[in-house]
Structure 1
Amino acid sequence: MKSEKEKMLQGLPYKAFGPELLEERQLAKEKVFDFNNTRPTDIETRNKIINSLLGKTNGSFFIEPPFRCDYGYNISIGQNFYANYNLVILDCTKVNIGDNVLMGPNVSISTAGHPIHFEKRNEEWEYAFPITIENNVWLGSNVVINPGVTIGENSVIGSGSVVTKNIPSNVIAVGNPCKVKREITEDDRLYYYKKNKF
């Protein structure tokens, strides 16, 4: 018989309040508490905490406190990762983040979901599907990413977007639900904001 953790990691319905998963979430909360309560200048201590919390880090990264996650060990971040204030990652299964990814404030990444029918929700069933954010992606402030989504490399997700489906590479996508607005072109290299040239 599969444990609730095994079911969680395999995309099957599971219940999150058994002793194993509850204990793992509590451990992550302790580390997150320590991270969020360091002095602003104590970057070294924060980095040590993140390295002990996340499943994988690769090279340099900077996460502005406060930060929240469920387990930590399901999160992988690439080189040169930057997250602004109030990043929330509900990592009930894998969250793979590539190199050179930037996130504005108040980004929410949620692998977790609940059944539509209230009776099944009331029985405490949950599910989780992995999220992938490829290299060179920029997520604007207040972006929400739903379970099972992949965002392709080099793409930009506009502020306030709710990403419910996969986004291809090399595009600007915005809205609720998030939709592709246009492709990113070589002309974009000339401008830093709208029609303001470098």
Structure 2
Amino acid sequence: MARSERAKMAAGEWYTCLDDELEALRVTAREAVFEHNSLPPKQRGNLGPGLKALLGGVGEGARIEAPFHCAYGFNIVLDDGVFLNAGCIILDTASVRIGKGTLLGPNVQIYCAEHHKEAAGRQAGLEIARPVGIGAHAWIGGSAIILGGVSIGEGAIVGAGAVVTRDVPANETVVGNPARPVKRR
């Protein structure tokens, strides 16, 4: 029996995003995100109820400011005290785990999907999903972009606007495009 596209995505294999089951899951996520983004702040609290139920895990005090967008939601785990500022986008085709007390500035983008290098593959919707892990007490500056397959260590700082294409060790500060360590004096 052939494996489903969802099973291939979860296994980190090439899959097609042009799949009815995956589209249904994205619709569910869009509905939860719409509710979260539309509720008045006093009603929404830290997370809209639909979004909180959708996410793979939400620690105590985790908060997502509106607007927010995610692809599936169930691949996202936020530990205690995580804060995502307004405009964050997480395309969670793979696991995205964000450690305790980590802060994401406005408009931070996390992209787990990597599209096929060949035009025909892209037209067929071929993608491969790569996980992202961010350790505890990290700080991701506004408008930073984190690509799939990247791990950011505990206490690390990613400067505003940085494009993170490689792992960032614990307690290191990176800036630029592509992100590079800041030299210490």
1:9 pairs with 2:10: yes
The percentage of counterpart residues that share the same residue type is: 36
What SS does the corresponding residue of 1:42 show, helix, strand or coil? Answer: helix
Whether contact under 8 Å (1:90, 1:109) holds in the other structure is yes
Cα displacement (A) at 1:47: 4.2
What SS does the corresponding residue of 2:3 show, helix, strand or coil? Answer: coil
Amino acid at match of 2:142: S
Cα displacement (A) at 1:51: 1.9
Name the residue aligned to 1:70: 71
Residues 174-189 of structure 1: matches in 2 within 5 Å?
Answer: 174-182=175-183
Whether contact under 8 Å (2:81, 2:102) holds in the other structure is yes
Whether contact under 8 Å (2:71, 2:91) holds in the other structure is yes
Name the residue aligned to 2:90: 89
Task: Measure the CA separation in 2 of the matches of 1:85 and 1:20.
Answer: 29
CA-to-partner distance for each residue in 1:12-51, whole Å, 9 max, x for gaps?
1101121111101001100100110001222348342332
CA-to-partner distance for each residue in 1:35-79, whole Å, 9 max, x for gaps?
100012223483423320100011111111000001100000001
CA-to-partner distance for each residue in 1:67-126, whole Å, 9 max, x for gaps?
000110000000101111101000011001110000110000010110122122122211
Whether contact under 8 Å (1:28, 1:53) holds in the other structure is yes
Amino acid at match of 1:151: I
Runs (5+) with no aligned partner, structure 1 = 184-198
Name the residue aligned to 1:42: 43
What SS does the corresponding residue of 1:60 show, helix, strand or coil? Answer: coil
Name the residue aligned to 1:58: 59
Name the residue aligned to 1:140: 141
Over 3 Å counting, the alpha-carbon distance change for 1:164 and 1:45 in structure 2 is closer
Give the alignment's TM-score, normalised by structure 2. Answer: 0.95
What SS does the corresponding residue of 2:182 show, helix, strand or coil? Answer: strand
Amino acid at match of 2:168: I
Runs (5+) with no aligned partner, structure 2 = none
Task: Measure the CA separation in 2 of the matches of 1:80 and 1:87.
Answer: 16
Task: Measure the CA separation in 2 of the matches of 1:115 and 1:180.
Answer: 29
Cα displacement (A) at 1:182: 4.0
Name the residue aligned to 1:21: 22
Q: Which moved more, 1:137-146 or 1:56-65?
A: 56-65
Larger radius of gyration: 1
Give the alignment's TM-score, normalised by structure 1. Answer: 0.89
Whether contact under 8 Å (1:38, 1:46) holds in the other structure is no
What SS does the corresponding residue of 1:24 show, helix, strand or coil? Answer: helix
Residues 147-162 of structure 1: matches in 2 within 5 Å?
Answer: 147-162=148-163
Question: How large is the Cα RMSD of the aligned pairs?
Answer: 1.5
